[in-house]
Amino acid sequence: PAPGDSAAAGQGMMGQGQGQGMHRGGGMMGQGQGQGMMHQGGMMGQGGMMARHHAEIPAEYADLVNPIAADEASLGRGAESYTLYCATCHGESGMGDGPAGAALDPAPAPIAHTSQMLSDGYLFWRITEGGSHFETAMPVWQEVLDEDARWDVINYMRALGSGTVGRGMGPGPRTGQGAAVEDHTAMLAAAMEAGAITQEEADLFERVHAVLSEQYGVGNMAMQGMGMQGRGMQAMQRAVTEQAVRDGALTQEDADRFTEIHDRLIEEGLMQ
C-alpha cells in the first residue's frame, strides 16, 4: 500500500491505535518511523524501508487480541519456546544480539523493545508467517508452534521488555542442550539407516555442526529447531555457514558439503 493509505496507518506496523504520531520528536523511532520500530534492529533492513514501514497486516490478523493471560504458566512456556527457537538470533534478553544474528542481514529485531509497541495482531502475523514478505531470514513458525504457543512467546517477549522476566526476575529461558544432542544423534543415525547419508557425511555434518554451535551458538537453530521450515531455515543456515567461512572457522569445501547434506536431509524428511 502507498504511504498514505489509511489501512497502513490504522492496521500497519503499529497495529490498533499504536500509530505514527506516537514517536515523533526525539524518541527512539525517529521522525516518520512510528510504524517501523520493528525494523530499527534490522528485521526489515534498509532496503525497501519505507514500503515495509507501511506494511498492512492481513485482515485475518489485524484484529487479533492475545487470548492467553501473561501469567507464570504462560511465561514459563513462552520462555522454553523462546530459548529453543528465538534466542539464538534475537538474544536471550530480546535485544537482537543472539550469536546467530550477527551473520544475518538484515539483523534480527530487538523484540524486547518492539513488542511493547506493536499490536498483538502484528506480532502474531510475523511469528506465524515469518519474514519472507520482507526478505528476511525469520522462519515460518505456524507448523512448529501451535497458536497457544505463539501467544505464549508473545507474552514472554513483552515480559522481557518490561523487565517482568529475565535477569533473575521470574521464569527465564532454559538451554535444553541435552535434548539438542539427543535429537542430533538420533537424526544422523536415522539418516544413515535410511541410506540418505554415509558415515563419512554424518561425520562431516557433525564436525561442521559442532563449529557452528560452539562459535556461533546455532545448535538450537540447526538441530532442536528442526521445525524451522523452508526458506527461513535454509537462509539462516547459509548465512551463518558463509560467515564461518569468512571468519576462517570452516573451509569453503566443508561449508558447501554441509549445506548439500543439510538440504538433502530436509528433502528426505529427516529434518523439517
Q: Which of 174, 199, 222 is the last residue of a domain?
A: 174
CATH label of the domain that carries residue 127: 1.10.760.10
Q: Which of 130, 145, 174 is the last residue of a domain?
A: 174
Domain presence at residue 4: no
- In this structure, the answer to whether residues 101 and 235 fall within a common structural domain is no
Domain presence at residue 145: yes
Domain presence at residue 112: yes
Q: pLDDT of 37-73, one tens digit each? A: 333 333 334 444 334 434 678 999 989 999 999 999 9
- In this structure, the answer to whether residues 131 and 225 fall within a common structural domain is no
Q: Which of 146, 174, 202 is the last residue of a domain?
A: 174
How would DSSP label each residue in the chain?
--TT-HHHHHHSTT-TT--GGGG-SSSTT-TT-TT-HHHHTTSS-STTHHHHHTPPPPHHHHT----S---HHHHHHHHHHHHHHTHHHH-TTSSS--GGGGG-SSPPP-HHHHTTTS-HHHHHHHHHHTTGGGT--PPB-TTTS-HHHHHHHHHHHHHHHHTSSSTTSSS-----HHHHHHHHHHHHHHHHHTTSS-HHHHHHHHHHHHHHHHHH--HHHHTGGGG-BHHHHHHHHHHHHHHHHHTTSS-HHHHHHHHHHHHHHHHTTS--
Task: Give the pLDDT confidence score for residue 118 in this predicted structure.
Answer: 83
pTM above 0.85?
A: no
- In this structure, the answer to whether residues 170 and 242 fall within a common structural domain is no
Model confidence at 3, pLDDT cuts 50, 70, 90, reads very low
Q: Which domain holds residue 167?
A: 9-174
